[in-house]
């Protein structure tokens, strides 16, 4: 949604894009518009008198490219003796497409930026639309178009000496969409925040942004094509705004807000060693979720009492294959050693869904979240599963380690996974490799069937960790990364909280503990509810640890439990949220964003 404020005298008009807040924080920097596929060219501003010259440069680059393609085609025909070869026809067609050409010509005038950048921006929009076409044949054509676009970029003549704004400068990144791997590999000294057209609050891209403390906004319609790179901006990750050409008073307001937030942060930091116990003496563990070993420093600074979820699928980031047993053991050992004496819960691979696939499937899955994911992949690839479990066991000799299985839907997956653990233990025993013989083994409760059957699963395991991100999506049948159904994705849906309650009750009856490691655990509006339902551990992004700790210290367990009993009798998500919020406002209004 776009809102324009009145022009400020003597300055550019302030423009506010409204999206969905995905990671809290404020960034003040020029925007840099980027996308996937091929490298962005340099970008620089031109003045009105240079527009025509730039348009001519663009037309010239197109002509050169067309000539090259004709030449290439005839060379290929000479070689193959086949004059029907149409390989470069599709390439040439895009250069003839008036809609594309006109858009670039207009964009040069409108943006007043160099021709290659205007061309790049138009092509990126076009390519992103193509990447989303369901037809696999058409989707594959994107590679051809990227190829020809790259060729056009090489054919721009350059002269003069310009100082481009490159991604090495501090900026707010605007993109059509970002994959979790893009966020993980972001240079955080340069990317102060990001905004995307696509995406959702519960995607792994957003989760990573929150872990790293990168302010982020998603769901900004039309941002990539409309926003002109280099524009001064403020990204507000609290309310989901991207403000272009901020007026001086807006800048002032945001600078004071940043200071105020910083103050709250330092006061929370000062408390990070304090026990996380309610006013009536109930103790909860606040641990951290990590995706990458890079985050360990943040976790240690946060005062977290362990790692409640180590998402090992992010080991796939730098390659297509899972690292071998030795490499994994080294990583896990480092995490276990650094976190000792606290526990590190290592979750076996949960590739699939919106995360990196462990291996490319021949056809894209029609419903990746209902497909080949988590424990299903591990059980189907026993050699890989065995290596991972052996690596975790090896690490268990150097600290306190627990093992956790994702996406469990029933007892047979638990039994088969435990058989693999037993087999690995026997092997290591024979090989005289030290490991923790009492390694706790737990499961994620994130599939509704597992929550419903929690009483059947509890006797088999040492703990439950509720993955609310998935539990919510599967319970209300609303894809966690699809903005069109974001309205339905409600953590306080009565169906969700009943499943949480059922899980905790089954755990209590069987003498095991229950934690929550989904994003709900870090949403402090809902801490009173989770606490009242009987959760014993909350595992949250490292940035949220101090705040959640302080929230627990402000609450009374008895009061939360009475509130949760009442919540379980309500029929509307909004009313349940309100009930939890009433305690949040009463006890820690200052901490709510
Ligand atoms: C969850 O589903 O809540 C969870 C913690 O796992 P992930 O977000 O990695 O799917
Ligand atoms: Mg999950």
- pLDDT tens sequence across 564-581: 999 999 999 999 999 999
What's the 22 CA to ligand 2 centre distance in angstroms? Answer: 18
Residue 139's pLDDT is 66
> Could you tell me the two tokens for 101?
């050409």
Residue 289's pLDDT is 96
What's the 253 CA to ligand 2 centre distance in angstroms? Answer: 38
Ligand 1 close to Cβ of residue 541 (< 6 A): no
Ligand 1 close to Cβ of residue 473 (< 6 A): no
Q: How far apart are the first and last CA of the chain?
A: 22
What's the 319 CA to ligand 2 centre distance in angstroms? Answer: 22
Give the closest residue to 457 by CA, choosing from 417, 422, 492: 417
> Is the model's pLDDT at 548 over the cut of 90?
yes
Q: Is 517 annotated in the active site?
A: yes
What's the 479 CA to ligand 1 centre distance in angstroms? Answer: 13
Residue 567's pLDDT is 98
Ligand 1 close to Cβ of residue 480 (< 6 A): no
> Is the model's pLDDT at 319 over the cut of 70?
no
Residue 80's pLDDT is 55
What is the CB neighbour count within 10 angstroms for residue 492? Answer: 24
**Closest protein CA for atom 6 of ligand 1:** 467
Pick 52 or 3 by higher pLDDT. 52
Q: Which residues contact 305 (CB under 8 A, 6 or more apart)?
A: 276, 285, 286, 287, 342
Q: Where are the domains of the chain?
A: 2-36+176-264, 48-154, 271-588
Share of the chain above pLDDT 70, in %: 88
What's the 46 CA to ligand 1 centre distance in angstroms? Answer: 47
Beta strand spans in 98-228 (E): 171-175, 191-196, 216-218
Contact (CB, 8 A) for 520 and 491? yes
Q: Counting atoms of ligand 1 from 1, which one is nearest the CA of 467?
A: 3
**Closest protein CA for atom 8 of ligand 1:** 469
Average pLDDT of the chain to the nearest whole number: 88
From 184, 200, 310, 311, give the residue whose CB has the most ligand 1 atoms within 8 Å, as the site to mutate. Answer: 311
Among 424, 453, 517, 560, the active-site one is 517
Average confidence (pLDDT) over 226-241: 89
Ligand 1 close to Cβ of residue 442 (< 6 A): no
The Cα 27–Cα 296 span in angstroms is 24
**Closest protein CA for atom 9 of ligand 1:** 311
> Could you tell me the two tokens for 212?
């790293």
**Closest protein CA for atom 1 of ligand 1:** 467
Give the closest residue to 214 by CA, choosing from 247, 246, 180: 180
Read off the pLDDT band of 94 (50, 70, 90).
Answer: confident
- Torsions phi, psi of 470, nearest 5? -85, -35
Read off the pLDDT band of 161 (50, 70, 90).
Answer: very low
Residue 130's pLDDT is 76
Lowest mean pLDDT among 70-79, 244-253, 273-282, 342-351: 70-79
> Is the model's pLDDT at 355 over the cut of 90?
no
Q: Which residues contact 430 (CB under 8 A, 6 or more apart)?
A: none
Read off the pLDDT band of 78 (50, 70, 90).
Answer: low
> Is the model's pLDDT at 195 over the cut of 90?
yes
What's the 468 CA to ligand 2 centre distance in angstroms? Answer: 7
Q: Counting atoms of ligand 1 from 1, which one is nearest the CA of 207?
A: 8
Average confidence (pLDDT) over 542-549: 94
Give the closest residue to 566 by CA, choosing from 555, 554, 580: 580
Share of the chain above pLDDT 90, in %: 59
3-state secondary structure of 236: strand
Residue 96's pLDDT is 83
> Is the model's pLDDT at 159 over the cut of 80?
no
> Could you tell me the two tokens for 275?
């026990």
Q: Counting atoms of ligand 1 from 1, which one is nearest the CA of 446?
A: 2
Residue 6's pLDDT is 40
Residue 454's pLDDT is 98
Q: Counting atoms of ligand 1 from 1, which one is nearest the CA of 204?
A: 8
Pick 230 or 84 by higher pLDDT. 230
From 211, 291, 467, 475, give the residue whose CB has the most ligand 1 atoms within 8 Å, as the site to mutate. Answer: 467
The Cα 512–Cα 490 span in angstroms is 27
Ligand 1 close to Cβ of residue 517 (< 6 A): yes
Residue 437, exposed/middle/buried by CB under 10 A (0-12, 13-18, 19+)? exposed
Read off the pLDDT band of 436 (50, 70, 90).
Answer: very high
Residue 219's pLDDT is 87
Q: Do the domains 2-36+176-264 and 48-154 sit in the same CATH topology, yes or no? A: no
Scored b (16 or more CB within 10 A) or e, 95-113 reads beeeebbebbbebbeebbb
What's the 432 CA to ligand 1 centre distance in angstroms? Answer: 35
Greatest mean pLDDT range, 68-77, 153-162, 186-195, 535-544: 535-544
Contact (CB, 8 A) for 126 and 145? yes
3-state secondary structure of 383: helix
Residue 38's pLDDT is 60
Ligand 1 close to Cβ of residue 354 (< 6 A): no
Greatest mean pLDDT range, 79-83, 264-268, 386-390: 386-390
Pick 432 or 227 by higher pLDDT. 432
Neighbours of ion ligand 2 (CB under 5 A): 446, 467, 470
Lowest mean pLDDT among 109-123, 544-558, 562-576: 109-123
Among 204, 342, 493, 557, the active-site one is 204
Residue 74's pLDDT is 72
> Is the model's pLDDT at 383 over the cut of 50?
yes
Ligand 1 close to Cβ of residue 290 (< 6 A): no
CATH of range 271-588; options 3.40.190.10, 2.40.50.140, 3.20.20.60, 3.40.50.360: 3.20.20.60
> Is the model's pLDDT at 1 over the cut of 70?
no
Residue 10's pLDDT is 46
Give the closest residue to 468 by CA, choosing from 319, 308, 359: 308
- Torsions phi, psi of 395, nearest 5? -65, -25
Residue 105's pLDDT is 92
Ligand 1 close to Cβ of residue 197 (< 6 A): no
> Is the model's pLDDT at 386 over the cut of 80?
yes
CATH number for the segment(s) 48-154:
1.10.274.10
pLDDT in tens, 459-495: 999 999 999 999 999 999 998 888 788 899 999 999 9
Pick 267 or 556 by higher pLDDT. 556
Lowest mean pLDDT among 52-66, 107-121, 346-360: 346-360
Ligand 1 close to Cβ of residue 18 (< 6 A): no
Render 474-507 in DSSP notation, one character per residue.
Answer: HHHT--TT-GGGGGG--TT-HHHHHHHHHHHHHH
Contact (CB, 8 A) for 184 and 210? no
What's the 103 CA to ligand 2 centre distance in angstroms? Answer: 42
Pick 309 or 175 by higher pLDDT. 309
Average confidence (pLDDT) over 187-200: 88
What's the 370 CA to ligand 1 centre distance in angstroms? Answer: 14
The Cα 558–Cα 220 span in angstroms is 42
Pick 473 or 197 by higher pLDDT. 473
Ligand of minimum distance to the alpha carbon of 354: 1
CATH number for the segment(s) 2-36+176-264:
3.50.30.10
Read off the pLDDT band of 156 (50, 70, 90).
Answer: confident
What is the CB neighbour count within 10 angstroms for residue 48? Answer: 8
Average confidence (pLDDT) over 103-109: 89
Ligand of minimum distance to the alpha carbon of 289: 1
Residue that has been written with the tokens 């103050």 in this structure: 263
Ligand 1 close to Cβ of residue 446 (< 6 A): yes
Q: Counting atoms of ligand 1 from 1, which one is nearest the CA of 374?
A: 10
């Amino acid at each position: 949604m776009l809102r324009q404020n009145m022009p400020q005298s003597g300055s550019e008009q302030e423009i506010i894009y409204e999206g969905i807040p995905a990671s809290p924080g404020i960034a003040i920097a020029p925007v840099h518009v980027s996308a996937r596929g091929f490298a962005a060219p340099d970008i620089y501003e031109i003045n009105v008198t240079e527009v025509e010259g730039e348009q001519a440069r663009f037309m010239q680059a197109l002509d050169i490219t067309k000539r090259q393609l004709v030449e290439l085609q005839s060379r290929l025909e000479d070689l193959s003796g086949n004059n029907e070869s149409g390989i470069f026809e599709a390439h040439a067609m895009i250069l003839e497409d008036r809609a594309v050409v006109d858009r670039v010509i207009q964009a040069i005038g409108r943006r007043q930026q160099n021709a290659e950048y205007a061309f790049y921006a138009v092509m990126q929009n076009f390519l992103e639309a193509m990447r989303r076409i369901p037809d696999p044949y058409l989707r594959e054509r994107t590679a051809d178009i990227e190829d020809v676009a790259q060729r056009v970029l090489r054919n721009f003549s350059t002269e003069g000496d310009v100082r481009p704004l490159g991604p090495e400068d501090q900026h707010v990144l605007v993109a059509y969409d970002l994959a979790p791997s893009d966020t993980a590999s972001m240079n955080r000294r340069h990317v102060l925040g990001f905004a995307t057209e696509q995406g959702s609050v519960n995607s792994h891209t957003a989760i990573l942004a929150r872990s790293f403390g990168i302010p982020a906004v998603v769901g900004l319609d039309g941002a990539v094509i409309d926003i002109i790179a280099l524009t001064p901006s403020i990204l507000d990750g609290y309310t989901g705004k991207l403000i272009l050409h901020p007026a001086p008073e807006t800048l002032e307001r945001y600078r004071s807000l940043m200071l105020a937030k910083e103050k709250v942060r330092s006061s929370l930091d000062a408390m990070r060693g304090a026990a996380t116990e309610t006013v009536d003496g109930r103790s909860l563990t606040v641990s951290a979720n990590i995706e990458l070993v890079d985050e360990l420093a943040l976790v240690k600074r946060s005062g977290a009492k362990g790692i409640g979820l180590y998402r090992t699928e992010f080991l796939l980031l730098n390659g297509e294959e899972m690292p071998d047993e030795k490499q994994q053991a080294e990583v896990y050992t480092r995490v276990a050693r650094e976190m000792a004496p606290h526990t590190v819960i290592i979750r076996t691979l949960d590739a699939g869904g919106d995360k990196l696939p462990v291996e490319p499937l021949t056809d894209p899955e029609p419903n990746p979240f209902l497909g080949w994911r988590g424990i299903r992949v591990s059980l189907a690839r026993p050699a890989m599963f065995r290596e991972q479990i052996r690596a975790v066991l090896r690490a268990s000799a150097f600290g306190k380690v627990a093992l956790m299985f994702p996406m469990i839907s029933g007892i047979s997956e638990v039994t088969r996974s435990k058989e693999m653990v037993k087999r690995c233990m026997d092997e290591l025993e024979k090989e005289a490799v030290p490991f923790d013989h009492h390694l706790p083994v737990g499961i994620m409760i994130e599939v509704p069937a597992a929550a419903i059957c929690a009483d059947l699963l509890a006797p088999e395991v040492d703990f439950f960790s509720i993955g609310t991100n998935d539990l919510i999506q599967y319970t209300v049948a609303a894809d966690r990364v699809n903005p069109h159904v974001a309205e339905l994705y409600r953590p306080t849906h009565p169906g969700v909280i009943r499943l949480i309650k059922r899980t905790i009750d089954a755990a209590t009856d069987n003498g095991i503990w229950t934690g929550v490691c989904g994003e709900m655990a870090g949403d402090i509006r809902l801490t009173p509810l989770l606490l009242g339902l009987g959760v014993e551990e909350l595992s949250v992004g490292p940035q949220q640890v101090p705040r959640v700790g302080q929230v627990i210290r402000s609450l009374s367990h008895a009061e939360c439990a009475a509130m949760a009993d009442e919540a379980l009798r309500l029929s509307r998500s909004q009313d349940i949220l309100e009930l939890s919020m009433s305690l949040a406002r009463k006890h820690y209004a200052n901490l709510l964003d």
